[in-house]
Structure 1
Amino acid sequence: MKRISPWSLVGAAGFLLAASVSALAQEEVPTIDTGDTAWMLTSTALVLMMTIPGLALFYGGMVRKKNILATVMQSFAITCLMTIIWMVVGYSLAFSDGGSVNDYVGGLSNFFLKDMTVDSVSGSIPETVFMTFQMTFAIITPALICGAFADRMKFSAMLWFMGLWSIVVYAPVTHWVWGGGFLADAGVLDFAGGTVVHINAGIAGLVAALILGPRVGFMKENMAPHNLPFTMIGACLLWVGWFGFNAGS
């Protein structure tokens, strides 16, 4: 009977190991899942609907008649402003590598969405879809703050505040939790914006309300809501949009 050389066994084992490593490497290559992509596109539309017209109607119905147009337009203006800021610098500060300061804020490697192509992948979806979904969070978070200073801030001042707040506060906080910052390293889990969106907007709204104080004529004039059906419609849109907000996350 012919004896098998030990070197043959070693060679066969090496070949199998190399084949296994090659197969694992091929499996780790990120690929786009069409089902995941379709759901994320749907979720993106649902979250955007929460701001326009959801929050616009929700807040618009609770102010006086003379302020309803300004209040509704705040949500629309914030949507336009945050879209530009997010694509120019917000996404990069939130989700790129910040180098030596990565614990606190991202860098500018994705400034103006640099190096992002139609072939870029994030998980199992295109990076462009991930960026757009996160953009809807960057839109609704400052829009939530508007309810804290309804009837009390000039439109131009509101735009300046929201623009600066999104860069100085929202993007870094997003990086802390979702972009690989110090909270992510500490094991903090935020599946649907409990810290990034709700605590963040809540603190900003509280500070804004305390600084601006009550509305002129508060407790002296009739400040009853102008159109509560608008508020109910907005609440229903927010309720439906939450399925995209939470499940998409």
Structure 2
Amino acid sequence: MHVSQALDIINSYKPNQVETLADLLPIELINSAYELTDTVTLRKRKLTLESMAWLLVGMAIYNDKSMADIVNMLDIVDRTGKPFVAPSALTQRRKNLGESAAKALFECTQSHWFKQANLPNWNGLTLLGVDGVLWRTEDSKDNAEAFAKPTNRDGKETQYPQVRMVCQMELSSHLITGSAFDSYTVNEMKLAEQLIETTPDNSLTLFDKGFYSLGLLQAWSSHGINRHWLIPMKKGLIY
């Protein structure tokens, strides 16, 4: 299964009950993530940081709903306990939060959920998979500068900028354990190198043959403790 298929399956599961979101994202975990960034200045804002985090997760799960609908579903309120329903204010809060806080929140939740999950293993090793995917983004000047547009045979740019992303996933649960993304022009193997630092110990990672790079594979197995990889052998390979 390709990572894009797995992500589609995950995205298609939208639980009707959201009461457990606070259990999945405890306030202590949110605070730990924010303490790693410069978001403490937002603590005096009308919308609490934990509410902002729950809103971001809700937007990812229920991406077919408007922001106002998600606020109502999650019962997000301001510091006074009143419903917080001003879309423009929510958009501004999200911008103020910044990408560093969102990244820290992802890393903290990923680590927390991975440790809490009762995952199967093979010969004492957690089974992981790494694969790449391309995303089309909104056609804006900022996105075009950040991520670039592919070109056709005639050298003409396509309509949408594209993001190249490499994800690492636990194979039994489809839990994302790491991700890296950059411009369309960046090689997948370069992105995969960014996952080495956060790869769990005592693990076996499966790659497809497009990731064959001696430097990548050697670095993968030499970092951490008991980290292994498996990749299809290329035709005509001499070893």
From the CA coordinates, give the structure whose radius of gyration is larger.
Answer: 1
* TM-score, normalised by the number of residues in structure 1: 0.22
Greater share of residues in strand: 2
* TM-score, normalised by the number of residues in structure 2: 0.23
Flag the structure with more relative contact order, 1 or 2, with Cα contacts below 8 A and sequence separation at least 6.
1
